[in-house]
A and B are shown apart, each in its own frame.
Chain A
Amino acid sequence: MRFVFRRLGFFLLTLWVALTLNFVLPRLMPGNPALSIIGKFRGGISPQAVKVLEEQFGIATHQNLLVQYFDYLRNVATFKFGASLTTQPGVSVGRIVLDAIPWTLGLVGVTTILAFILGTGIGILAGWWRGGRLDSIMPPIFVIMTVIPYFWIGLVLILIFGVKLHVLPYFFSYNFSLTPGLNAAFIGNVAEHAILPAFTLLITTIGVWILTMRNTMITTLAEDYVRMARAKGLPSHRIMLDYAARNAILPNLTGFAMSLGFVVGGAILIEEVFNYQGVGYLLLQAVNNTDYPLMQALFLLITVAVLFAILLSDIATAILDPRTRGAG
Chain B
Amino acid sequence: MPGDSSPLGSAAPASGTVLEVRDLSVEYLLERGTVLAVDQVSFDLSAGEFLGIVGESGCGKSTLLFAIAQLLVPPAEVTGGSVIFKGRNMVGLTDRELSAVRWRDLSVVMQSAMNALNPVKSIGAQYFDAMRAHGVASKGEIAERSSEVLKMVGIDPVHLKSYPHQLSGGMRQRAMIAMALLFTPDLVIMDEPTSALDVVAQRSLMVQIKELQEQLGFAIIFVTHDMSLVSHFSDRLMVMYGGLVAEFGATRQVFDNPLHPYSIGLLEAFPSIRGPRVPLTGIPGSPPNLANIPPGCRFAPRCPKVMARCEVEPPELYQMDGTLVRCFLHDGGGRADD
Contact = CB atoms under 8 A, between A and B. Distances in A.
Interface stretch (A154-162, A278-286, A315-323): A315-323
A243 B119 contact: no
Interface in A172-227: 222-225, 227
A225 B119 contact: yes
B73 A242 contact: no
B129 A234 contact: yes
Contacts of B66: 227
A247 B122 CA distance: 14
A320 B95 contact: no
Interface in B175-200: none
Q: How large is the interface on B (under 10, 10 to 19, 20 to 34, 35 or more residues)?
A: 20 to 34
Max chain B C-beta neighbours (<10 A), residue from A227, A229, A236, A243: A227
B71 A230 contact: yes
A235 B66 CA distance: 19
Interface stretch (B7-15, B104-112, B280-288, B310-318): B104-112
B73 A322 contact: no
Interface in B77-114: 95, 98-104, 107-108, 110, 112
Contacts of B220: none
A215 to B, nearest CB: 17
Interface size class of A (residues with CB under 8 A): 20 to 34
Contacts of B165: 322-323, 327
Given A225-B115, A247-B120, A236 B95 contact: yes
A231 B71 contact: yes
A233 B163 contact: no
A228 interface: yes
* B interface: dominant SS: loop
B116 interface: yes
A227 B117 CA distance: 10
B272 interface: no
Contacts of B134: 233
B129 A227 contact: no
B130 interface: yes
A234 B116 contact: no
B177 to A, nearest CB: 13
Contacts of A166: none
Given A232-B129, A235-B133, A321 B103 contact: no
Interface string B189-227: 000000000000000000000000000000000000000
Nearest to A222: B73
A235 B98 CA distance: 11
Nearest to A236: B95
Nearest to A327: B165
A74 interface: no
A247 B121 CA distance: 10
Contacts of B122: 322
Interface string B134-156: 10000000000000000000000
A6 interface: no
Contacts of B102: 230-233
B133 A232 contact: yes
Contact of A224 (B101, B103, B112, B133): B112
Contact of B118 (A225, A235, A320): A225
A217 B120 CA distance: 15
A320 B120 contact: yes
Given A233-B102, A233-B103, A238-B133, A228 B120 contact: no
Contact of A323 (B100, B104, B108, B119): B119
Nearest to B110: A224
Contact of B116 (A228, A242, A246): A228
A5 to B, nearest CB: 22
B99 A233 contact: yes
B103 A231 contact: yes
B38 interface: no
Nearest to A250: B120
B69 interface: yes
B129 A224 contact: no
Contacts of A320: 120
A247 B69 CA distance: 24
Contacts of A227: 66, 71, 73, 110, 116
Nearest to A247: B120
B115 A223 contact: yes
Interface in B220-259: none
A232 B107 CA distance: 7
A22 B73 CA distance: 55
Nearest to A323: B165
Nearest to A249: B120
Nearest to B162: A322
A225 B133 contact: no
Interface of B: 66, 69, 71, 73, 95, 98-104, 107-108, 110, 112, 115-122, 129-130, 133-134, 163, 165
7 contacts: A230-B95, A231-B103, A233-B98, A234-B99, A243-B121, A247-B118, A327-B165
Given A225-B116, A225-B119, 12 more contacts: A225-B118, A227-B73, A233-B95, A233-B100, A233-B101, A233-B133, A242-B121, A243-B118, A322-B119, A322-B122, A323-B119, A323-B120
Interface of A: 222-225, 227-236, 238, 242-243, 246-247, 250, 320-323, 327
